[in-house]
Structure 1
Amino acid sequence: MKKQWTMMLLATTITLGSTTFIPEEAQAASAVIVSSVNLRSEPNTSAASYGYVSTGETVEILSKVNSYWYKVRTSSGKVGYISTSSRYVSTTSTVPVSTSTTASSSGTVTYSSTAVSKVIAAGKAYLGTPYEYGSDRSTTYTFDCSDFVRQAFKDALGVTLPSSSRTQGDYVKSIGKTSTNWHDLKPGDLMFFMSYKGGSASNYPSNKAGQTITHVGIYLGDGKILHTYSKDSGGVRIDSIAGRHWEHRFIFGGSALR
């Protein structure tokens, strides 16, 4: 009997030293599907689909991955990811916040400085990784710019950003608090750039609104950017921004974290 009781405790909690960790499933919130929605294997639209969760079905929301995705368990026990849009799902209780986030008194989910540090550390772990345009998103042998940024966030926080620099830019804009002055950015913010047109500021328009995003990197603070942009550059690296073409090409930047 004592052995059975011990096994039951281990099934619900995992204890390390004096700290007890409760599985996220134990904190699940319930929700109702208001319109049939795709259940994905990962929190991105290119991930494999498990099929659709039907209108009227109740699911458990295990966590909110980001502003776009919930991790859920269906009534049949299948775990996957669905859109957070109210077009598809209606929550009936508070959605649990990921361990890398905190909730403010207003209910807005915000990420701590620890989360930002994790993203930067995860990115720096790939310094020197070769560049490849259109790199395979399922491996870490090579990266293009957006693949590198995406992998850093995925490794650090389990957050899967959109797969291209343009869609990452759209995502950051959807969160808000962007700036066209790179001096206003904080470490961990994403920086978005237009195509290279030369080393002089005169080669670039003064009004950069509407310019097409062709490059993205992670701002480190102190005028430094962590990114990858060509085979000749040596792959993932750290560069200075001020007075270089990066400053002239910069369109806007902002946080990918709420």
Structure 2
Amino acid sequence: MVEATFIYFDITKEAYSLKHTMKKRMITAAFTASLLLGSVSASIPTVMAAQSATVDAGVNFRSAPSASAPVIRMLKKGEQVTILDASNAYWYKLQDSSGRTGYASPSYFTVSSVSSSHTATGTIQKSVSFRTSASLSASRIRFLQAGEQVAIISRPNSSWYEIRDSSGQAGYVSSQPQYISVSGSSGGSGGSSGTTAPSTGSVESVIAAGLKYLGTPYEYGSSRSTTTTFDCSDLVRQAFLEGVGIKLPADSRGQGEHVAQRGKAVTDWRQLKRGDIMFFMSYKGSKASAYSGTNKSTATITHDGIYLGDGKILHTYSNESGGVTISSIAGTHWEYRFLYGGSAL
């Protein structure tokens, strides 16, 4: 038991003295062998894409998921970051407040809790293969058994769910209802609109499709037939097209009409749900006073993006801002410019 505990510490912590380098190499080799024998398993907390986290202690922010990768900078205690991918047991893919992406050890972060509106649980209906990728030809990890509970991470396409089992193992399972049933609770306040909330799997597929384009350059009027550049509505359109196969109108005003006609629009951005589309008027200034007296019910939509929850939006508006990026809403001109938002699903 002592040796196993020491190995876990050695693998996950970077701050280790040079005098132990040789011992570290020997332990790493032993750890790798034990993994092959199935004697060591890592428990991974369920973390969803674009979830927020706080840095607990200074840690290297690296350019790749490796302790030998170049250090971008040191993340400082108290910094807020966004988790882009948590599928690796030993590394988070992160975005810092400046929009830069990199990797760091999960041991140095406290992950923000996610409200029930952002969670989905799957129940296995009958024995089914748990695979390493979304393909029938992919290696089988094991068989999932009827009655097992799993966490839904994303839905990469209509045929597969990316899931995490109770031990923390991530993998893929058929989305066919005879194998898995998915449930998720819908948050928010106020009365029912009488419409069915979009499935969490669909929402996560849209967000995952959009997040993969982080850093893609901005171009006003970008081509709708390529993904080398995006303007705001092109990014939204591409995320929904790839994520769930829905072809939205090509411009932000048309997308706004689509959402409004579905009767799900809200004018308070805090009532939005993860995966909703947000619509904005033109920029008038960075302070709330610049927008006072504006009749937003008649204002023209000039920008849109996808709400990620936790007060953040995935969108693109300039190359100076890094192209496709994640921005905070509260207390910024994005909050003051917001017109309405809602689900396109």
Same fold, TM exceeding 0.5?
A: yes
Secondary structure of 2:254 counterpart: helix
One-letter amino acid of the counterpart of residue 243, structure 1: G
**CA distance in structure 2 between the partners assigned to 1:198 and 1:227 by the alignment:** 19
Q: Give the C-alpha shift of residue 110 in structure 1.
A: 5.4
Does residue 189 of the first structure (1) align with residue 286 of the second (2)? no
Q: Give the C-alpha shift of residue 146 in structure 1.
A: 0.1
**CA distance in structure 2 between the partners assigned to 1:183 and 1:109 by the alignment:** 20
Q: Following TM superposition, where does structure 1 have runs of at least 4 consecutive aligned residues deviating by more than 4 angstroms?
A: 107-110
Does residue 231 of the first structure (1) align with residue 304 of the second (2)? no
Structure 1: gaps of 5 or more residues: 1-15, 19-101
Secondary structure of 2:314 counterpart: strand
Residue 202 of structure 2 corresponds to which residue in structure 1?
115
Structure 2: gaps of 5 or more residues: 1-127, 131-182, 184-193
* Cα offsets for 1:23-66 (capped at 9, x unmatched): xxxxxxxxxxxxxxxxxxxxxxxxxxxxxxxxxxxxxxxxxxxx
Q: Compute the TM-score of the two structures, normalised by the length of structure 1.
A: 0.57
Q: Give the C-alpha shift of residue 111 in structure 1.
A: 2.9
Q: Compute the TM-score of the two structures, normalised by the length of structure 2.
A: 0.43
Residue 211 of structure 2 corresponds to which residue in structure 1?
124
Secondary structure of 1:238 counterpart: strand
Say which of 290, 301, 305 aligns to 1:217. 305
CA RMSD across the alignment: 2.2
Residue 252 of structure 1 corresponds to which residue in structure 2?
340
Q: Give the C-alpha shift of residue 200 in structure 1.
A: 0.8
- Written as runs of structure 1 = structure 2, the 5 A alignment for 1:1-258 is 111-206=198-293, 207-257=295-345
* Cα offsets for 1:218-237 (capped at 9, x unmatched): 00001000000012111000
Secondary structure of 1:176 counterpart: coil
- Which of these two proteins has the greater Rg computed from alpha carbons? 2
Q: 1:187 to 1:110 in 2, by over 3 A?
A: closer
Secondary structure of 2:275 counterpart: coil
Q: Give the C-alpha shift of residue 188 in structure 1.
A: 0.2
Secondary structure of 1:111 counterpart: coil
One-letter amino acid of the counterpart of residue 165, structure 1: S
Residue 13 of structure 1 corresponds to which residue in structure 2?
none
Identity of aligned residues (%): 65
**CA distance in structure 2 between the partners assigned to 1:111 and 1:137 by the alignment:** 25
Larger RCO, structures 1/2 (Cα 8 Å, 6+ apart): 1
One-letter amino acid of the counterpart of residue 201, structure 2: T
